[in-house]
């Protein structure tokens, strides 16, 4: 196939430099898009500017992502893939869902560009004609559903404090996680000791609704 060079066998499988180079460039474009969308939002970002950031032509970028909407979709899928993989790993290691969520928030504290693009797009996408509107609607619905199911399970096992409604608490947890990200971004202008502790604040709320404290 044109543009693909097959090299020597390694571990029984051929290494295709062309494919590897293409995947690396695609990842580079995604990272540049995350920064651009975080800085100026989806509507303000330009594909030509993103292409310039990674040192390729505009047609070169379109080879990987034919439209800006396709690039946006890839950025959101990339974030979900990373987040879901981290949460699943924590669950497989025996942590609870809420311990995994606290750890996810801790990791987000090291990924400012990702947090910026997510919070900015979530606000933009409330408009029904935004290309990410359906994505965020589905994401919020599935997140609340998953957290509600876990809280209902805990309630049945006596792990939820008296008077806590699983559905309302799930919406509060979801809103708290997103709201803390916004407050954290604003707090980055302050001295480190005065910045919002996203993981600490989430853990404090969870300890108010769960019988067993979150580790």
Answer for the pair 55, 24: CB distance below 8 angstroms, yes or no: no
Is 80 exceeded by the pLDDT of residue 15? Answer: no
Answer for the pair 43, 127: CB distance below 8 angstroms, yes or no: no
Q: Which pLDDT band holds residue 109 (cuts at 50, 70, 90)?
A: very high
Query: Which fold does the domain 1-66 belong to in CATH?
Result: Arc Repressor Mutant, subunit A (1.10.10)
Query: Which fold does the domain 68-215 belong to in CATH?
Result: Tetracycline Repressor; domain 2 (1.10.357)
* Residue 130 φ/ψ region, left for φ over 0, alpha for ψ in the -120 to 50 degree band, beta for the rest: beta
pTM: 0.81
Average pLDDT value for the chain: 90
Is 60 exceeded by the pLDDT of residue 11? Answer: no
- The domain locations on the chain are 1-66, 68-215
- pLDDT digit string, tens, across residues 167-192: 999 999 999 999 999 999 999 999 99
């Amino acid at each position: 196939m044109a543009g693909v060079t097959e090299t020597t066998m390694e571990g029984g499988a051929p290494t295709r430099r062309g494919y590897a180079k293409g995947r690396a460039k695609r990842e580079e474009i995604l990272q540049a898009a995350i920064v651009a969308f975080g800085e100026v939002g989806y509507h303000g970002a330009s594909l030509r500017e993103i292409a310039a950031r990674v040192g390729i032509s505009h047609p070169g970028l379109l080879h990987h992502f034919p439209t800006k909407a396709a690039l946006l979709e890839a950025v959101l899928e990339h974030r979900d893939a990373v987040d879901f993989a981290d949460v699943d790993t924590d669950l497989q290691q025996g942590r609870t869902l809420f311990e995994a969520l606290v750890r996810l928030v801790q990791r987000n504290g090291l990924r400012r560009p990702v947090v910026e693009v997510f919070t900015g797009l979530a606000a933009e996408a409330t408009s029904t004609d935004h290309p990410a509107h359906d994505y965020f609607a589905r994401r919020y619905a599935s997140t609340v559903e998953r957290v509600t199911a876990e809280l209902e399970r805990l309630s049945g096992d006596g792990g939820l404090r008296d008077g806590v409604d699983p559905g309302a608490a799930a919406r509060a947890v979801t809103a708290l996680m997103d709201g803390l990200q916004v407050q954290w971004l604003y707090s980055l202008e302050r001295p480190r000791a005065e910045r919002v502790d996203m993981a600490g604040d989430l853990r404090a709320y969870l300890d108010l609704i769960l019988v067993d404290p979150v580790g």
